[in-house]
């Protein structure tokens, strides 16, 4: 049987933040915009459905790249094998699983919907070198204590030399003001029932968006030692509970490494309106119909290796208080604390004001707030939804790779 309670007087608090900025308008004249095709393709020794991304350059007036749809895409090798790619969402995915193998020559072919043909140079798989270890190292960087994720790798044949890294991060989220019961509002009544779905523990993830490169060509041996992949402050909520990172290593050819180095240099310059304007740089993809046409992109064939690690905050910082939660969730809320209040089933700016704005029922129905029980019924505390229900911003599905 569900318990019911009449909404009457409920103290709560809300945190408001405002950010103001002042900028001087810049009258940018986009008179020299060029429509250029962009190709991103990396073939590896992983047995999987590989992916090719094709888009167009976009002007400042546009907010995102334009996907090049309805293209015909395939990869061929020097034995006559052909691997077709099909349009899936905003990319092209191979129709079958396959992998790059040593000594084979691979080439990318693209035919766009307007009849233009593009082809890459032939590329071979690089030396297959495994990641030796990924280590979380507690350091202080620029005066900030934290953990630096470092990778180690070595090639005794001295033929790898050039490396690119990416990573996927996953971390556990535990809602601090979670309650085993959830509020079900109806009219002027709120019913309570046991939760039927997980809302306390969730898992969030994000992928790297920077170009991470290193090389060993100037060293006496082909060894990557403690290369810094990611630094995380000890106050970052990401490592508040348990954290995992999957580090991905791509062994590159000299041509691929040079291309990504140039790309990184351009991206590090910042604004395209800066005084230093980089010139156009080419990859290994060209137009068959017009050799003078500008094409951005690189078809890379790289050996791949990955390694995942986990750690808890207390593993690395046993004497340090964990970071604050992602959202402001005060542990104790006085009945009348400065700020906003819930009063007589209304959302008001002071206990004595006329009700203005949404009611408590509306706030719960819209998932703007979540309730937390108090010792004194019929009063309830309403928190921001993220404080008591992590599914409001994260996923309650535990990843298949997760180890507690």
For each of the chain's 404 residues, which pLDDT tens digit applies? 444 333 322 222 222 222 223 333 334 344 555 788 999 999 999 999 999 999 988 665 565 678 999 999 999 999 999 999 999 999 999 999 999 999 999 999 999 999 999 999 999 999 999 999 999 999 999 999 999 999 999 999 999 999 999 999 999 999 999 999 988 887 777 788 999 999 999 999 999 999 999 999 999 999 999 999 999 999 999 999 999 999 999 999 999 999 999 999 887 765 333 334 445 677 999 999 999 999 999 999 999 999 999 999 999 999 999 999 999 887 655 343 434 444 445 554 445 555 556 777 778 888 888 887 766 555 567 888 999 999 999 999 999 999 99
pLDDT of amino acid 103:
94
Give a three-class secondary structure readout of the chain. CCEEEECCEECCCCCCCCCCCCCCCCCCCCCCCCCCEEEEEEEECCCECCEEEEEECCCCCCCCCEECCCCEEEEEECCCCEEEEEEECCEEEECCCECCCCCCEEEEEEECCCCCEEEECCEECCCCCCEEEEEEEEEEECCEEEEEEEEEEECCCCCCCEEEEEEEEEEEEECCCCCCEEEEEECCEEEEEECCCCCCEEEEEEECCCCEEEECCCCCCCEEEEEEEEEEECCCHHHCCEEEEEEEEEEECHHHHHHHHHHHHHHHCCCCCCCCCCCCCCCCEEECCCCCCCEEEEEEEEEEEEEEEEEEHHHHCCCCCCCCCCCCCCCCCCCCCCCCEEECCEEECCCCCCCCCCEHHHHHHCCCEEEEECCCCCCEEEEEHHHHCHHHCCECCCCCCCCC
pLDDT of amino acid 78:
97
pLDDT of amino acid 97:
98
| Entry pTM | 0.84
pLDDT of amino acid 43:
98
pLDDT of amino acid 24:
36
């Amino acid at each position: 049987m569900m318990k019911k309670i009449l909404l009457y007087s409920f103290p709560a608090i809300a945190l408001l933040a405002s950010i103001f900025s002042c900028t001087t308008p810049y009258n940018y004249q986009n008179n020299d915009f060029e429509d250029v095709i962009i190709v991103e393709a990396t073939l590896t020794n992983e047995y999987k459905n590989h992916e090719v991304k094709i888009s167009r350059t976009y002007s400042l007036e546009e907010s995102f790249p334009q996907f090049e749809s309805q293209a015909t895409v395939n990869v061929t090798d020097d034995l006559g094998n052909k691997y077709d790619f099909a349009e899936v969402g905003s990319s092209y995915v191979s129709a079958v699983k396959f992998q790059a193998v040593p000594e084979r020559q691979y080439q990318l072919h693209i035919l766009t919907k307007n009849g233009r043909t593009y082809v890459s140079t032939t590329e071979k798989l690089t030396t297959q070198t495994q990641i030796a270890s990924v280590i979380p190292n507690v350091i202080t960087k620029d005066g900030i204590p934290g953990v630096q994720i470092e990778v180690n790798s070595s090639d005794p044949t001295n033929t790898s030399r050039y490396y690119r890294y990416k990573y996927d991060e996953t971390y556990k989220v535990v809602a601090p003001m979670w309650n085993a019961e959830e509020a079900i509002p109806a009219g002027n009544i709120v019913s309570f029932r046991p939760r039927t779905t997980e809302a306390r523990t969730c898992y969030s993830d994000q992928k790297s968006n920077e170009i991470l490169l290193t090389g060993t060509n100037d060293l006496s041996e082909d060894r990557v030692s403690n290369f810094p992949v990611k630094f995380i402050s000890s106050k970052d909520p990401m490592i508040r509970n348990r954290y995992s990172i999957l580090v991905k290593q791509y062994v590159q050819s000299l041509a691929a490494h040079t291309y990504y180095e140039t790309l990184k240099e351009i991206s590090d310059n910042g604004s395209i309106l800066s005084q230093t304007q980089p010139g156009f740089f080419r990859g290994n993809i060209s137009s068959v119909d017009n050799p003078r046409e500008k094409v951005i992109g690189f078809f890379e064939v790289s050996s791949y290796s990955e390694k995942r690690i986990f750690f808890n905050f207390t593993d690395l910082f046993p004497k340090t208080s964990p970071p604050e939660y992602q959202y402001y969730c005060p542990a104790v809320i006085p009945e009348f604390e400065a700020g906003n209040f819930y009063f007589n089933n209304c959302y008001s700016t002071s206990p004595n004001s006329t009700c203005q704005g949404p009611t408590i029922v509306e706030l719960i129905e819209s998932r703007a707030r979540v309730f937390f029980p108090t010792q004194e019924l019929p009063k309830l505390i309403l928190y921001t939804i993220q404080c008591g229900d992590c599914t409001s911003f994260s996923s309650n599905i535990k990843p298949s790779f997760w180890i507690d």
